[in-house]
Homo-oligomer: A and B are copies of this chain.
Amino acid sequence: MLKLEDNERLIRVGAGKPAGELMRRYWQPALLSEELPENDCPPVRVRLLCEDLVAFRDTDGRIGLVDAYCPHRRAALFFGRNEECGLRCVYHGWKFNVHGDCVDMPNEPSDTPMRAHVKILAYPTIERGGVIWTYMGPHAHMPAPPDFEWTRAPATHCFGSKTVEDCNYLQAMEGGLDTSHASFAHNNHLGNNNTLRNMDTAPRADVETTDYGYRYISTRKVDESRRYVRIYHYVMPNQQMRGAFTSLLGDGHDDDPHATPKSDGHLWVPIDDEHTMVYNWACGRDQSAPLSPEFRDRWESWAGRGPHDLIPGTYKLKCNRANDYLIDRKIQKTQTFTGIKGINTQDYALQEGMGPIVDRSKEHLGSSDKAIVALRRLMLDAIRAVERGEKPPGLDPRSHRNIRPYDAIITGDRPWQQAFAEELVAKW
């Protein structure tokens, strides 16, 4: 249960709102590189932290991310012409470069002083890991760019995707950081207690605060001599990195995509208070084993967000709230816990099903919700730090550049710190 006042501080992401200002202190994904596939390609609408923007890749490959509306008379730059190193409004031909400078104003006399002083809002961008990142906070506070292991891996070993979720980022992220629901919501083999997560539905959980956020350790008993230990990272303010041993969720077939050793994760990026763009990444752990495009499609499809799962031309799921995620009650009786296909879709059903903004004054948290409680506390502390004029945690890329998540079975009494010592260090 969270006080209404604290909830409000956590969920509102517009400029000037507590969580909005916190989010603006970090580099955030604005769109996927694939959305701007070539120089001078069509501009793309971006809504981010309640702001309407438009992105374009200019003639030299630079990325612009500017106000959605022309400063002249507020026509939509989405309809603009992306040409000769700038985006040109089709109303009166005003043209802006990636820095927001007005480089042409053809409907005014050629000597107009206006051209020099008219600018369009433009945010800095950087392209890493198949993602175009932006920084929307005060210029003086701009941190060094993100430097996660997966953003350094080559495209042969890393891929990304994104899907729209129709609820606030926090309840979506809370679903991601929650470990114990995997035994239920994602149990896709009813009656099969051989999947490790099903053996012990009430794992022990530990949360260790770090420079970048926290490290979460859940421990499930397998049998008298073995335990399954899962370690994931919460990276401030809105990323999760998860381990490779999720084959335990798989079906055990030879083509189960879980068998491939990799890390994966999500970033829950607020579109606005009631919509979230979830960025998904996966990164091979084995430098000698590239992740093929076929693997990518198989993995994404298994999650429920593959090429055939999206409404064409959008990043929205075909199975969505309007059609009850195509729940199949017969399959729910006999095969899977939810009757909903795809882990990603299962999560959306649960997170969107709460309504756009969950009423946290009515919740009842238990010991299994330790990660959720820690998340909220860290976020509230960081918000207060920003309000006091201090730096929130995790801005320095050195805090996160070497981390890697992991999970595996440990035999005997070896502590995980020792058993996983090598596995928890980034290799890319």
> Which of chain B's residues has its CB closest to A190's CB?
B81
A184 within 8 A of B: yes
Contact B74 A183 (CB under 8 A): no
> Which of chain B's residues has its CB closest to A77's CB?
B353
CA distance A74 to B358 in the complex (A): 7
Q: State how many residues of chain A have any CB contact under 8 Å with chain B.
A: 58
A39–chain B nearest beta-carbon distance, Å: 12
Contact A350 B91 (CB under 8 A): yes
CA distance A78 to B340 in the complex (A): 13
**Which of A81, A325, A338, A359 has the most C-beta atoms of chain B within 10 angstroms of its own C-beta?**
A81
Given contacts A73-B369, A74-B358, A107-B366, 6 further A-B contacts (CB under 8 A): A72-B364, A72-B365, A79-B349, A90-B338, A93-B201, A107-B180
- Which of the residues B201, B350, B358, B369 comes within 8 Å of A90, measured between beta carbons? B350
A417 within 8 A of B: no
Residues of B within 8 A of A338 (CB): 79, 90
A363 within 8 A of B: yes
A298 within 8 A of B: no
Contact B349 A180 (CB under 8 A): no
A106 within 8 A of B: yes
Tell me the dominant secondary structure on chain A's binding face. Answer: loop
- Which of the residues B109, B180, B184 comes within 8 Å of A367, measured between beta carbons? B109
CA distance A279 to B336 in the complex (A): 36
Contact A112 B367 (CB under 8 A): yes
CA distance A354 to B74 in the complex (A): 6
Residues of B within 8 A of A366 (CB): 72, 105, 107-108, 112, 114
- Which of the residues B42, B71, B90, B201 comes within 8 Å of A363, measured between beta carbons? B71
Contact B73 A107 (CB under 8 A): no
Contact A184 B353 (CB under 8 A): no
- Which of the residues B76, B109, B185, B367 comes within 8 Å of A91, measured between beta carbons? B185
Known: A69-B354, A79-B338, A79-B353. A185 touches B90 (CB 8 A): yes
A-B complex: 9 closest residue pairs judged by Cβ atoms: A76-B353, A107-B180, A93-B184, A42-B329, A107-B368, A106-B201, A90-B338, A74-B354, A75-B350
Contact A364 B71 (CB under 8 A): yes
CA distance A254 to B372 in the complex (A): 69
- In A278-336, the 8 Å CB interface with B consists of 324-325, 327, 329, 332
A401 within 8 A of B: no
Tallying the copies of this chain within the complex gives 3
> Which of chain B's residues has its CB closest to A330's CB?
B42
CA distance A364 to B350 in the complex (A): 46
CA distance A91 to B350 in the complex (A): 7
A62 within 8 A of B: no
CA distance A71 to B359 in the complex (A): 10
CA distance A88 to B336 in the complex (A): 14
A283–chain B nearest beta-carbon distance, Å: 28
Contact A202 B107 (CB under 8 A): yes
A118 within 8 A of B: yes
Contact A363 B72 (CB under 8 A): yes
CA distance A352 to B73 in the complex (A): 12
Q: List 14 A-B contacts (CB under 8 A).
A: A69-B354, A69-B362, A74-B360, A76-B350, A79-B327, A79-B350, A81-B337, A92-B184, A92-B185, A93-B201, A106-B201, A107-B181, A107-B183, A109-B202
Residues of B within 8 A of A90 (CB): 184-185, 337-338, 346, 350
CA distance A304 to B110 in the complex (A): 33
A195–chain B nearest beta-carbon distance, Å: 15
- In A24-41, the 8 Å CB interface with B consists of none
CA distance A114 to B226 in the complex (A): 29
> Which of chain B's residues has its CB closest to A119's CB?
B364
B-contact 0/1 string along A31-56, CB 8 Å cutoff:
00000000000100000000000000
Contact B368 A92 (CB under 8 A): yes
> Which of chain B's residues has its CB closest to A73's CB?
B363
A290–chain B nearest beta-carbon distance, Å: 33
A165–chain B nearest beta-carbon distance, Å: 15
Residues of B within 8 A of A180 (CB): 92, 107
